[in-house]
Amino acid sequence: MSQPAALPLPVARSVASLRQTVADWRKAGLRIGFVPTMGALHAGHLSLVERAKERADRVVVSIFVNPTQFGPSEDFSKYPRQEASDAARLAAFGVDLLYSPSVAEMYPAGAATTVSVGIVTERLEGVFRPTHFDGVATVVAKLLNQVQPHVAVFGEKDYQQLLVVKRLVSDLDIDSEIVPGPTVREADGLAMSSRNAYLSDEDRAIAASLPATLNFVATQLRSGVDAAPILEAGRIRLMKAGFREVQYLDLADASTLAPLERADRPARLLVAALVGATRLIDNMAV
Ligand SMILES: Nc1ncnc2c1ncn2[C@@H]1O[C@H](COP(=O)(O)OP(=O)(O)OP(=O)(O)O)[C@@H](O)[C@H]1O
Ligand SMILES: CC(C)(CO)[C@@H](O)C(=O)[O-]
Ligand code: BAL
């Protein structure tokens, strides 16, 4: 029987082997940084690794396509999986350990606990992906408990997720600092995302209008005017550019995500829209 090719960096596939490595680092007094991902790595992920490296002596990256955060009609089975090329990029970036557990290791038979974060999960993504944040919160709580990092880095591209993770860590007294990483964009402004790989050339051209529209809307909202007509103009602009559906384009308080009528305090503009069969999200400070 042929053996799978060895990966170019140490890999832990079980909670026990992960714990052994991080316990040794702790005993040696080293600071541990952590970047959780679902793989199909791009420069956005690597920017989070860079931030973790600046703040820690050893960095763990997890790759786990978490089934519990996908809805029944979402893309769990087709989500890109490319562990060998991801591992090569992580090794070249000086990551110390890849943590890549199986679904059975993460959710052994009999697992019956779900972590559910209130209020901040209710709007925006929570409306269109009603089971999503329970899945994210449960797996992030488990990952942070398994790695016990001093610092963990999460991208602002998933802005609501970042707030959910901060709430979770505060509410459950998890002893890890959560550090945000700014959104890394393609040359035309499109936020890097593993799901961009789904886009046809035609859809990719349409997708570029998402950050352009966010910029256009955010610029006007910064003057403190009534948001409703500007948000509506933004939605129309996206549909005219070729988006199939704009699920939301909303202005929200930057720390609670409560809806705002105008940007009279730190605010965030957030969008989710479908181009062809692909769902894209993005956000911007206002
Ligand atoms: N363009 C980006 N810039 C900075 N961080 C990012 C970017 N894209 C994703 N991240 C962050 O990387 C981490 C892992 O995200 P994930 O593996 O889901 O990647 P993704 O590209 O967002 O994938 P998806 O297409 O599934 O949303 C998250 O903290 C996410 O916010
Ligand atoms: C944080 C995360 C790794 C949990 O599965 C995922 O939601 C992601 O990649 O953003
Ligand atoms: N990047 C967030 C994970 C998800 O969409 O499932």
Q: Which tens digits make up the pLDDT trace of 47-92?
A: 999 999 999 999 999 999 999 999 999 999 999 999 999 999 999 9
pLDDT (0 to 100) of residue 15: 98
Is ligand 1 within 6 A of the CB of residue 44? yes
pLDDT (0 to 100) of residue 2: 57
Mean of the per-residue pLDDT values of the chain: 97
Q: Which ligand is nearest to the CA of 156?
A: 1
Active site (annotated) includes residue 45: yes
- How close is the Cα of 196 to the center of ligand 3, in Å? 12
CA distance linking residue 147 with residue 116, whole number of Å: 20
Q: How does residue 6 score in pLDDT terms, banded at 50, 70 and 90?
A: confident
Q: Which of 158, 163, 176, 195, when mutated, tests ligand 1's pocket best, judged by the most ligand atoms within 8 Å of its CB? A: 158
Give the CATH number, domain containing residue 238: 3.30.1300.10
Q: Are residues 134 and 276 in the same domain?
A: no
Range of the structural domain that residue 159 is part of: 11-181
pLDDT, mean of residues 260-284: 97
Q: Are residues 234 and 100 in the same domain?
A: no
Quick one: what percent of the chain has pLDDT higher than 70? 99
Domain boundary among 181, 203, 220: 181
Q: How does residue 7 score in pLDDT terms, banded at 50, 70 and 90?
A: confident
239 has pLDDT over 90: yes
Please identify, by atom number, the ligand 2 atom nearest to the C-alpha of residue 36.
3
Is ligand 1 within 6 A of the CB of residue 176? no
pLDDT digits (tens, 9 = 90+) for 165-206: 999 999 999 999 999 999 999 999 999 999 999 999 999 999
Q: Are residues 208 and 138 in the same domain?
A: no
Q: Are residues 135 and 229 in the same domain?
A: no
Q: Are residues 19 and 90 in the same domain?
A: yes
Query: 134 among the known binding-site residues?
Result: no
Kindly report the pTM of this predicted structure. 0.97
**Pocket around ligand 2: residues whose beta carbon is below 6 Å from it?**
36-38, 66, 69, 136, 139-140, 158, 161
ipTM of this complex prediction, to 2 decimal places: 0.98
Please identify, by atom number, the ligand 2 atom nearest to the C-alpha of residue 62.
3
Query: 132 among the known binding-site residues?
Result: no
Q: How does residue 3 score in pLDDT terms, banded at 50, 70 and 90?
A: low
1 has pLDDT over 80: no
